[in-house]
Amino acid sequence: MSQIFNLPDVGEGLTEAEILSWKVAVGDTVAVNDVLVEIETAKSVVELPSPYAGRVEKLMAEEGQTVEVERPIIAISAGGAAPEQNASPATTEPASRDAKDAGAQQAALVGSGPKADSVKRRARKRPEPVSAEPAASFPLPSKHVASHALAKPPVRKAAQDMGINLHDVPPTGAQGQVTKKDLLNYAAHMALPQATQPGESPSSFWQATEISDDRIERIPVKGVRKATAAAMVKSSFSAPHVSIFVDVDASRTMEFVKRLKKSPQFEGIRVTPLLILAKAVIWAAARNPQVNATWTDSEIQIKHFMNLGIAAATPRGLMVPNIKNAHELNLRELAIALNDLTARAREGKTQPAEMSNGTMTITNIGSLGIDTGTPIINPGEAAIIAFGTIKEKPWVVSGEVIPRWVTTLGGSFDHRILDGDLSARFLADVASILEEPALLLDM
């Protein structure tokens, strides 16, 4: 009997994941907890262990394919029967009712798997086939079909977000469904500056022209990039941003970092000015608690704990893992946590739990040689701090111009929660620590 392993929700409400690489092949024998496949979700790369022991019978999804949560991805023969040699990787339905039952009753993985109260979806009826007009040489828009436009839920959601009526998009799917490629191509053509001629419909114009320039590189929007885009658009258009900036004499921070590097307590630990800024943000948030908050329309939730997010540029895109309960860590512990967090992010090993429940974020644009910027607030938070590069510049001290190490802090704040004066007080408190880090010794 085949035991069907469905793609679990390994994050918090994720709807799909991409199959990156299979770690087993048809015919392999696997034990419980052996790694079957590596997947990429909107938040991280995750290895899925097997909930069953047996022989791999079918791989039901291909590498590079995006699969919806709770869809079958692999069949494992419990009795060790010979595998099907001609199994199609594109198969997406269990072979029998028993297989469906086995898939529905699969053991939940630790920290993953479908929710216990998940509702089974009703099988969708296929529409009656409709013949195309004889003169049409290109698939007709689905508005010519008597039934509603066929499309997967992610495509429907994307069309809704883009303001596109799926009935206007010519489908090319095998069953007459609108695919992601159809939707993106339609959106691209609708954005072209050429207007249709009088009496010419948009669909006929679209059929007559096709983007085929091989100078255009096409990168699928998925995984971290897709999630980041959605989050930034949501934050940008839902939270009214106010941004402020302050130049800071960070000369004493630079001296403090040098002393820490020589300290036996920090031997073997990487110490940078980012460590001092992180501690300064925690300290300033304790003095101004409302910056560490979430807006919910009905209430403002002030968090009396700090899960400090650090924006990290990785090969997979921008990720913002956070240090849980950073307010409880001393300077040495915070340095270790920062190093571990950034190393895992760059290696692509950040787990979904590390990306959730952040309360405030730092983006270290100074590491790229940038002076300042207007960062977009991470959704669910009220503030984000941009840390600019530290440069030696002329600075006035006691009426004299002398060279000092200067940086610029930029902060973006949710104006629904924070007024200008509170935002300014918070950023000024952060700046005061960079100007005199010895204040941290009292913490």
CA distance 241 to 235: 9
Q: Packing angle between helix 273-287 and helix 331-346, nearest 10 degrees?
A: 120
- Looking at domain 224-442, its CATH superfamily turns out to be Chloramphenicol acetyltransferase-like domain (3.30.559.10)
**DSSP annotation string for 83-101:** PPTT--TT--S-SSHHHHH
Helix/strand/coil for 27: coil
**DSSP annotation string for 389-414:** PPEEEEEEETTEEEEEEEEEEEEEEE
Q: Give 10-residue mean pLDDT values along the chain (443 residues).
A: 85 78 92 90 81 92 88 82 42 42 40 38 43 38 50 78 81 84 74 49 50 69 71 73 94 95 94 96 96 91 95 78 95 95 84 88 90 89 95 93 96 91 95 92 60
CATH class of the domain at 2-104: mainly beta
Helix/strand/coil for 437: helix
DSSP 8-class letter at 416: T
Q: Which residues are catalytic?
A: 415
Identical topology for domains 142-192 and 224-442: no
Q: What is the pLDDT of residue 188?
A: 67
- Reported pTM: 0.55
Look at strands 29-30 and 317-319 and give their pairing.
unpaired
Q: Does the domain spanning 142-192 belong to CATH 4.10.320.10?
A: yes
Domain regions of the chain by residue span: 2-104, 142-192, 224-442
- Of 146, 151, 229, the C-alpha closest to 183 is 151
Q: What is the pLDDT of residue 299?
A: 92
DSSP 8-class letter at 174: T
CA distance 294 to 324: 17
Q: What is the pLDDT of residue 403?
A: 95
Q: What is the pLDDT of residue 396?
A: 93
CA distance 50 to 74: 10
